[in-house]
Amino acid sequence: MKRRGSVLIGSAFVALAALAFAAPRVVAADKIDPATEAKAFRNYFTAKFPKVKLDDFVNGPYSMNADMRKQWVEKEEFPPYEFAVDAGKEMFAKPFKNGKTYADCFPNGGVGIRQNYPHFDAKEGKVVTLELALNRCREANGEAPYSYVKDEMASLTAYMAFTSRGKPFDIRIPDDPRALEAYENGKRYFYTRRGQLNFSCASCHVQSPGERIRAEILAPALGILNAMPIYRSEWNGMGTISRRFVTCNSQTRAVPLEPQSDEYRDLEYFLSYVSNGLPIAGPGARP
């Protein structure tokens, strides 16, 4: 085994962590049971951090470090993401050249729906994320798509998340083998080691939440997407879910995938589903 910072990199712990919720997932020889897996996933984290209230996991490291929580509470009085919410609200309401707006593309005019994304599109046979849906809306109305990792997309999703604050994640996996496959693919990506450092997503966010890697306190995987998009001090700005996935791959010295690739969409599907019931807390702020 070897260490990087305070994070133990070894196969034994991750295997045990995976076993904690992977073992009961099969209720028949060929039957995937995401609901059972999600319950076991939640139980793993609540057992690991018994003093953290379930809904508080959405606050990441601030839920498990008293000093950081105090700083966060103070920061929330003048949140650094506020400018993005305001910009996103203005962008959301501004008509396209054809006179339509984003509200024409979404249920309930796009207000209070963040908790329903990503969802599985039966017609397409793939997962559709909120970021992807926003760009498809733009293209359907004759507008150029935004970058998935830049400020415009971060602002739009910040505003939409803000309108859903407090609403619980409600991600559905329909009775469709393609949806189950997407969920399984997302889970597989989450636990697969890659890059020069031989890290998986789980190495940090299942094995070592609450510990430090360099100057950062690692967040638990449970509820990790509920606070997205986020303002990060290291970015000096906002970041989307796509930006976070790309950055994580880069930090492990793996080759990042294209934003909104099938793998990243399936990963978002898995992480969102296992956090079902936890409230939307985005946009958020992190060091």
Instruction: Find where tokens 């399984």 sit.
Output: 184
Q: For residue 9, what pLDDT is reported?
A: 36
pLDDT digit string (tens) for 115-137? 999 999 999 999 999 999 999 99
Q: Averaged over 3-18, what is the pLDDT?
A: 39
Q: How far apart are CA 23 and CA 169, in angstroms?
A: 24
How large is the average pLDDT for residues 20-49?
76
155 closest CA partner among 237, 77, 73, 223: 237
Cα 36 to Cα 76, 117, 125, 176, 230: the distances in Å are: 35, 21, 24, 17, 30
For residue 63, give the DSSP letter.
G
Q: Is residue 7 predicted with pLDDT exceeding 50?
A: no
The string of DSSP codes covering 125-159 is TEEE-HHHHHHHHHHHTT-PPPPTTSHHHHHHHHH
| 188 residue type, one letter | R
Cα(235)–Cα(251) distance, integer angstroms: 14
Start-end of H helices in 163-261: 177-191, 201-205, 241-251
d(CA 129, CA 267): 11
For range 20-33, the mean pLDDT: 52
Taking the CB of residue 75, how many other CB atoms lie within 10 A of it?
14
Q: What is the structure's pLDDT at 225?
A: 97
The predicted-structure confidence for 46-92, as pLDDT tens digits, reads as follows 999 999 999 999 999 888 878 888 878 887 888 999 999 999 999 99
221 pLDDT more than 70: yes
What average pLDDT does range 30-57 have in this prediction? 93
Lowest average pLDDT, out of 3-12, 20-29, 160-169, 193-202, goes to 3-12
Active-site residue, selected from the candidate residues 105, 137, 204, 248 = 248
Asked if the model's pLDDT at residue 45 lies above 90, the reply is yes
Residue 5 has pLDDT above 80, yes or no: no
Q: Answer for the pair 32, 26: CB distance below 8 angstroms, yes or no.
A: yes
pLDDT at 219: 92
Catalytic (active site) residue 204 = no
> Per residue in 227-275, pLDDT tens?
999 998 888 899 999 999 999 999 889 999 999 999 999 999 999 999 9
Which pLDDT value is given to residue 30?
59
The pLDDT of residue 28 is 40
pTM above 0.85, yes or no: yes
Q: Do the beta carbons of residue 262 and residue 269 sit within 8 Å?
A: no
Kindly indicate whether the domain formed by 78-213+228-287 is annotated with CATH number 1.20.970.10. Answer: no
- Domains of the chain, by residue range, sit at 78-213+228-287
